[in-house]
Amino acid sequence: MHKILKLTAAGLILGTPVFSGGWEANRLDTSMMYNDGGYAEVSTSSISYDLYATNQSSVKHKMAKDQTRTTLSFKNQYGNFDVGLTRYMSGAIQMDGQAGALMGTNLVPSADVTATSLALLGRYRINDNISAFAGLNRYEVETSTVQTVYGLYQVSGDEIVPVVGAAYENKEIALRVEAVLQVETDMALTARSGVRNAGVAATTAVPAGSKLVVPQTMTLNFQSGIAEDTLLFGSIHKADWKTAQISVLANGPIVAVNSNFSNKTAYSLGIGRKINDQLSLIGSYSTEDGGGSTSADPFTLTDGYQTIGLAARYTKDNMTFTAGYSYSKVGDVTVTVAPMSAAYKDNEVTGIGAKIGFSF
């Protein structure tokens, strides 16, 4: 039973939805901290967004850009202490609403906004069953752009967010229950704005006060053996997005930009099955409720989602290789800011990913 313990990380990453509430892209993954000794891994995923909307002029357009995300993680053990470092894409707003024929007629923004995180974690093994960890997660928004019908905006900033957690384990039955808390933190943004369609040189500094709020999140991860060579795993992830908005202040004739995210809770459940000493198979289901079938937030693309994920894991000596596929059916939503509208219907998202890990 103990050998199947490491399946959880692959199931949660490759079977997890490829987007979530607010601007969240990937979550902080702490599973590496539970490997004995040293461990390093790299994972990458390619995401295809078939998210189309029809605007008030009956023009249909793909509103979300495809993405590639990569995560690097490393940890080592020093007696009862584990120290880990991970870098991942924590947030993204990749939209294409102002492109081509839609220019000047669509309320959906075009955006190229990404947030990367570098998290340093320390875990203390209190005994064979109980451990606690804490760390610092540095969020960074490199110079990113948002273009709306009102103007062109550039933002950048960084902030350090504390993370704490605790876990209970019983390795005899591959049981682990882990709780992770990240507190809400304001990130001051350096912002510039200019007339819509203007180049970078035409933007001017926005008065101080623009910000991005990193939401408070609470995550419960769990796993347990339920039969010989079979593992049940899942998670509950709650993010307080209602108080974690993005705000870029007005600058002269250029109006302010404000998001209107709502609180979200995501659930996932999966099963891992060991076929032989080298091969294991993983299946998972994930879901998150949306904010309703109507919205006045131009950054809204869906009304929740349901995702099915499938993955296979191959083990050879101290190396593991995992590959997976996910399919998400997203909820229909109509976004309206009179006199403009965008109706999203019958959309989907697919993703493929791979991970390679080494124990030492």
Mean pLDDT value across residues 150-162: 94
* pLDDT > 80? residue 170: yes
For position 100, what pLDDT does the model report? 63
Report how far residue 179's alpha carbon sits from residue 33's, in angstroms, rounded to the nearest whole number: 13
Give pTM, 2 decimals. Answer: 0.92
Q: Which two tokens stand for residue 114?
A: 């990404």
CB 334 within 8 A of CB 314: no
Mean pLDDT value across residues 301-321: 93
Structural domain spans, the chain:
2-359
Which is nearest to 307 in space by CA: 57, 11, 8? 11
Higher local confidence (pLDDT), 31 or 200: 31
Which is nearest to 347 in space by CA: 269, 264, 290, 263? 290
Q: What does residue 36 show for φ and ψ, rounded to 5 degrees?
A: -75, 140
Average pLDDT, the chain: 90
Residue-wise burial string across 57-80, b where 16 or more C-beta atoms lie within 10 A, e elsewhere: eeeebbbbbebebebebbbebeee
Q: Going by CATH, does the domain composed of 2-359 fall within 2.40.160.60?
A: yes
For position 4, what pLDDT does the model report? 44
Mean pLDDT value across residues 180-185: 97
For position 103, what pLDDT does the model report? 59
Mean pLDDT value across residues 223-241: 93
pLDDT above 70 as % of the chain: 91
Report how far residue 262's alpha carbon sits from residue 243's, in angstroms, rounded to the nearest whole number: 8
* Extended strands (E) in 148-289: 152-170, 175-182, 185-188, 190-194, 204-205, 211-214, 217-227, 230-239, 246-248, 257-258, 264-274, 279-288
**pLDDT tens, residue by residue, 50-100:** 999 999 999 999 999 999 999 999 999 999 999 999 999 999 999 999 876
For position 195, what pLDDT does the model report? 83
For position 22, what pLDDT does the model report? 84
* pLDDT > 60? residue 199: no
Q: What does residue 30 show for φ and ψ, rounded to 5 degrees?
A: -100, 0
Mean pLDDT value across residues 330-356: 94
**pLDDT tens, residue by residue, 247-301:** 999 998 889 999 989 899 999 999 999 999 999 999 999 999 888 899 999 999 9
* pLDDT > 70? residue 110: yes
* pLDDT > 60? residue 313: yes
CB 25 within 8 A of CB 69: yes
* pLDDT > 50? residue 1: no
Q: What does residue 129 show for φ and ψ, rounded to 5 degrees?
A: -110, -30
Mean pLDDT is lowest, of 41-45, 103-107, 113-117, 145-149, for 103-107
For position 106, what pLDDT does the model report? 86
Higher local confidence (pLDDT), 104 or 261: 261
**pLDDT tens, residue by residue, 207-225:** 899 999 999 999 999 999 9
**pLDDT tens, residue by residue, 2-47:** 444 455 444 444 444 545 678 999 999 999 999 999 999 999 999 9
DSSP per-residue letters across 282-327: EEEEEEE--S-SEES-TT---S-EEEEEEEEEEEETTEEEEEEEEE
Looking at the chain, the number of H-run helices and the number of E-run strands are: 1, 25
